[in-house]
Amino acid sequence: MSRMGTRLAALAALFVTVAACGGSSAPTVATDVGITSDSILLGNTIAQSGPAASYGTIANAENAYFTYINNQGGINGRKIKFKVLDDGYNPAQTVPLTKQLVEQDQVFAMFSGLGTQAQVSVRDYLNAQKVPQLFVATGATTFGLDFSQHPYTIGWLPAYQGEAHIYAKDVIQNHPTAKIGVLYQNDDYGQDILKGLIDGLGSSSTLIVDKESFDVTATSVASQLAKLKGAGADTVFVFATPSFAIKSLATITALGWSPHIYLNGVSNAQVFMGIAAKNGAKFDGAITVAYLKDPTDPQWANDDGMKLYKTVIANCTTCNVLDGNNIYGVAAAFTMVDVLKQAGSNMTRANVMKIASSQLNETNNPFLLPGIVVKTTSTDHFPIMQQQLATYSAGGWHLQGSLIDERGTIK
Amino acid sequence: MLKRIFQAPPRYWLVLVAVVFFVGLPTVVTSFQSGEWAEVMIFAVVIMGLNILVGYSGQISLGHGAFMALGAYTTAILIHRYQLNYLATIPIAGLVTGLVGFLLGFPALRLSALYLALATFALAVVTPSLIKRPEQLTGGVQGILLLPPDPPQLAKDMFAAVTGTPMTSDQWIYYVSFACALVLFWLAWNLIRHRPGRALRAIRDGEVAAAASGINIAGYKTLAFGISAFYAGVAGSLYGLVIGYVSPDTFPASLSFQLLAGAVIGGLASISGPLLGGIFTFWLPIVSSQFVAGQDWIPAQISSVFKNAGPAVSYGALLILIMIFAPNGVSGLILSTYTRLRRRLRGAGEPGSGQMPPDHQTVESPAT
Amino acid sequence: MQELLQQVLSGIASGGIYASLALALVLIYNAMGLVNFAQGEMAMFATFLAFTLIDHGLNYWVALPLTLLLAFAAGVLIQRVVIRPVERAPILTLVIVTLGLATLFNGLAGFLFGYVPRSFPSPFSVLTVNLAGAFVSYRDLGVMGVSAVVLVLIYLLLQRTTVGLALRAAAHHPDASRLLGVRVSWMLALGWGLASAAGAVSGIMVAPILLLDPNMMQTVIIYAFAAAVLGGIESPLGAVVGGVIVGVTVNLAGAYVPGVGGDLQLAVAFAIIVAVLVLKPNGLFGHAAVRRV
């Protein structure tokens, strides 16, 4: 036996020597990693399993749009390759997977990574490597606000605080004597949008009579809503992800209560409203905001953008055409393609980052509400800051007034 | 002396080969792969701790992710708020977590194995929401970012002399994790081979008999909890450093189950088991979602199931299969195959073939 | 006052949900002295089965018994295929196998049905009853009523039938039972089948309230553990009383105890589990166990 051991040791020694002699080639430094004469490689991490897996379809929808563009001939002859990895919404997974995409797969840029904590966990790394972290799929304010420390990171969807500012304006203008109760999810999302509401109300924040939080592990929000009701609130803000938003709407009605409701945009898809209504929720007159065209809204039935969306999403066999997450993905992919087209022959990471973070002026995104401009300047790094209020009645959301621009209000 | 070395049992040579392999690894793989293997080392350490608790003392913990979280946050807070050197925080994190584990060992004494499993399961689920509360300390939902540690100049130069490129942060963290794993594995080995290990096994296999032979049951059981938590604390500290970020979502309940799964799949009550377990825990999700999907020879229907079902299905199925067909885990499987093979090669009649295999201190079910 | 009453009523309603799953846990415990960590996920999966049947056009009242039958068969099958090979192994092995089952069912459900929450039909109205200014919905009452019926059925089965006697005997004295001609292994299979069906009832009753998705039962199981442990884990009545106490305590602590707050409700359940296990391990209705050598 000992002889076999010696042999193994000799083998191991040989292995180490070979390794030492062979060495490893350092990653080649080039200004256009991930770009070849006929392809552009983009990377993405998103939750396709675990607690946030319902968002996973976004990456598939984005890929559907890239397929559509590739079938049209690509961007200046280059086809987009999109490598998506599942991080299960856990930053501990996001970090190694992102490093894999950057160092092994040699992606040109990261596009539309999902989750606030997940994207914060790789922001320093990507900036140190000067790899663009483009259009992250989170509205956390830090991604637009802290641009100067992180010039290789940019968000896309409207900042949560901006959304809350719009509600605050509506309260001050139309309901100056409201008694506000806030129900918010105790996570980065809920705390961010709550801060936006308090900031937006400013001196009127005394209107808030009670704030109640719930954890994502909760099975019911009845206790919190009963407290808000007991505190005498006549206006309720529901800052919750879809499942909890549906339960909140149903519970408010079940408590024999009919306050004025503000519902956050992440949960206002028609599918969810349908479930809430089936569960007995009555919320006519509820207010939300919108910036995307809702695929379930009949008013867009003959809209060119919606027709294009349906053509695009046919490239994805697993995507539900009515799922609002999918039109989100297609719209974000549109901006991504727009940036790459503008970069033209100067396809470097630095140039693409410069265009995305300070030279965007996209007026033709067909999946956004008419009039919304995806815009960045050298001093403003929140691409979408216009949204429109919508009121619920007769089984659907109805857009109200005109677009509200919150550009420059987040500090 | 030389003769003694050459006559050493094969497992010593295996250890040597493993050490040489892991020392040389970063010189052949890329920097980020070293980072991945650092996580393997870290999982191996926490699973070794779990192994001491579950495999040797017979207590169950489904909540070791919580201990890792405590270790990681200790390190993050000490670095972030008190500007302590990151290397100094590793043993502190281990000691703090070990102390907490030791104290938790007292109420755990009153619990049967089943109830202990239940209570620690609940702890694993409740951990992320507990982390969010002391916001001033833990950074709440924002978490705490840690700078990637810079390798010392000496290590940089030595690495450059071998490979031609200076050492990266990921490679340095790998070596730190590997060194910790080496020391902690060596400690565990000593612990298990000597008096405490024998006492723990005696308690595991029959508390009444152990008490009758004068073993301080409460003392050893709480000690096992403390040591196990110490390992998890060190691992958590390293985990925070290699990821560079700690936040509530970094320590989901599923982490605790993956650790236990790793311990069981690798093989309980063995020294090599935790290393195999660490490899499984880290690579299984990646293999099931990336590797299988990229293999052309696997039919598309099957590989798409692996990709879309996520790691949960692979974990669940593997756990059940291992428990039914190889309750001693992969290391037990390898050992028994090796013993059988050797017996076959030497011929059944040879003396010694009827002996118990060496180091076979695994959890055999009493009924078998 | 009205608010306090509402907190209590809502707590009782949640308690009904926890109790319904805890009853299934109690059944398995009675059958083989094991806590099934996969109970919640099995219930969720059975509910998806019912959802699929109804989605394919089956009437609710046809789909319901069919699902219960399927769940029963699946429970028996799981016991024969997965549990039987390890049923004499140490408790650790059994716990790990049930954890494996939980992970497997959760992942499979996500793969087969997706993660978007769905509405599930309920035979009970969405309307509410007004009790002195506090409200409770017919659906919540329905969950409680059905739990009560399941409780009575389990009680009758365990205490008043020979099958129940054999079931308990097989769990507590397997060797003696074998000598008396009880087919111990099949008794365990029966226990698993019944628990699986009871779990399915729970899933189908609570899915309209909790919304059906693969993670529906993931935290309910913790509350159900708390309920079962508080009530004394072998007592069906204890599970129901425990469920109600847990539901009310969690609500009141979250709403009125300073420093707790609604976001720490699960932590309150965790505290209940630990406190009961350390201070009164047999719960409210359990019998003191004698340690066997």
Is B356 a residue whose pLDDT tops 60? no
Interface pTM (ipTM) of the complex? 0.91
Mean pLDDT of B110-117: 89
Q: Which residues of C touch A190 (CB under 8 A)?
A: none
Decide if pLDDT at A12 tops 80.
no
Judge contact between C50 and C71, C-beta under 8 A. Answer: no
- Per the DSSP assignment, residues forming a β-bridge with A290 are A388
Distance from CA of C55 to the nearest CA of B (A): 22
Give partners of A (≥3 CB pairs < 8 A).
Answer: B, C
Instruction: Mark which residues 309-368 of A lie under 8 Å from B by CB.
Output: none
Q: How confident is the prediction along chain C (293 residues), in pLDDT tens digits per residue?
A: 789 999 999 999 999 999 999 999 999 998 888 899 999 999 999 999 999 999 999 999 999 999 999 999 999 999 999 999 998 888 888 999 999 999 999 989 988 898 889 999 999 998 998 888 899 999 999 999 999 999 999 999 988 898 888 888 888 888 888 888 888 888 889 999 999 999 999 999 999 999 999 999 999 999 999 999 999 998 999 999 999 999 999 999 999 998 888 899 999 999 999 999 999 888 888 776 544 44
Residue window 205-224, chain C: list those with CB within 8 Å of chain A.
Answer: 208-211, 213, 215, 218-220, 222-223
Name the band, by pLDDT with cuts 50, 70 and 90, for residue A309: very high
Candidate from B13, B141, B145 with C-beta closest to A187 = B141
Asked whether the beta carbons of A141 and A192 are under 8 A apart, the reply is yes
Smallest Cβ–Cβ distance between A91 and the set B125, B250, B290 belongs to B250
Q: Distance (Å) from the C-alpha of residue A276 to the closest C-alpha of chain B? A: 27
Q: Which pLDDT band, with edges at 50, 70 and 90, does B47 fall under?
A: very high
| pLDDT one-digit tens code per residue, A70-92 | 999 999 889 999 999 999 899 99
Q: For the segment A107-140, what is each residue's pLDDT rounded down to a tens digit?
A: 999 999 999 999 999 999 999 999 999 999 999 9
Show the tokens assigned to B238. Answer: 């390293």
Least confident of A25-29, A251-255, A300-304, B127-131: A25-29
> Measured between CB atoms, which of B115, B125, B319 is closest to C96?
B319
CA distance A102 to A106: 5
- Band of residue A17 on the pLDDT scale cut at 50, 70, 90: very low
pLDDT of residue B9: 73
Cβ–Cβ gap C278/B365 under 8 Å? no
- Test A218 with C213 for CB contact under 8 angstroms: no
Which of A285-294, A295-304, B350-359 is predicted least confidently?
A: B350-359
List the helix and strand counts (H, then E) for chain C: 11, 2
**Residue in chain A lying closest to B36 (CA):** A96
Longest CA pairwise span in chain B (Å): 70
Residue A228 has pLDDT above 80, yes or no: yes
Which residues in chain A have Cβ-Cβ distances shorter than 8 Å to C118?
Answer: 275
Greatest alpha-carbon pair distance for chain C in Å reads 60
pLDDT in tens, A396-409: 899 999 999 988 88
Q: How confident is the model at residue B360 (pLDDT cuts 50, 70, 90)?
A: very low
- What is the average pLDDT score of chain B? 86
Model pLDDT, residue B299: 76
CA pair distance B325, B166, nearest whole angstrom: 47
* Residue C216 contacts residue C210 (beta carbons within 8 Å): yes
Give me the mean pLDDT over the B326-341 stretch: 87
Instruction: For chain B, give the percent of residues with pLDDT over 90.
Output: 48
Q: With an 8 Å Cβ cutoff, is B104 touching chain C? A: no
Tell me the pLDDT band of B349, cut-offs 50, 70 and 90: very low
Give the model's pLDDT for residue B5: 66
Pick from C117, C218, C251: CB nearest A242:
C117
CA atoms within 13 A on the CB side of C163: 12
Provide the pLDDT for residue B346.
75
Of the candidates B111, B114, B309, which has its C-beta nearest C108's C-beta?
Answer: B309
- Give residue C293's pLDDT: 40
Instruction: Determine what percent of chain A is predicted with pLDDT higher than 70.
Output: 92
Cα B95 to Cα B74: distance, rounded to the nearest angstrom: 10
Note which residues in 325-364 of chain B have CB less than 8 A from chain C.
327, 363
Whether A21 contacts chain B with CB within 8 A: no
Cβ contacts from A onto C, under 8 A: 112
The whole-chain average pLDDT of chain A stands at: 90
**pLDDT at residue A259 in the model:** 96
Report for B200-214, B267-281, C63-77: range of highest mean pLDDT = C63-77
Q: Convert the pLDDT of each residue in A182-207 to its tens digit.
A: 999 999 999 999 999 999 999 999 99
Taking an 8 Å cut-off on Cβ atoms, the answer to whether B239 and A92 are in contact is yes
Tell me the CATH architecture of domain C2-279. Orthogonal Bundle (1.10)
Return d(Cα B116, Cα B132) in angstroms, integer.
25
- Identify whether the C-beta of residue C112 lies closer than 8 Å to the C-beta of residue C43: no
What is the mean pLDDT of the segment spanning A368-394?
94
Alpha-carbon separation of residue C34 from A216, B113, C38, C147 (angstroms): 29, 11, 11, 21
Question: Any bridge partners for residue C118, and if so which?
Answer: C212
Mean pLDDT within B86-104: 96
Percentage of the residues of chain B whose pLDDT score is greater than 70: 92
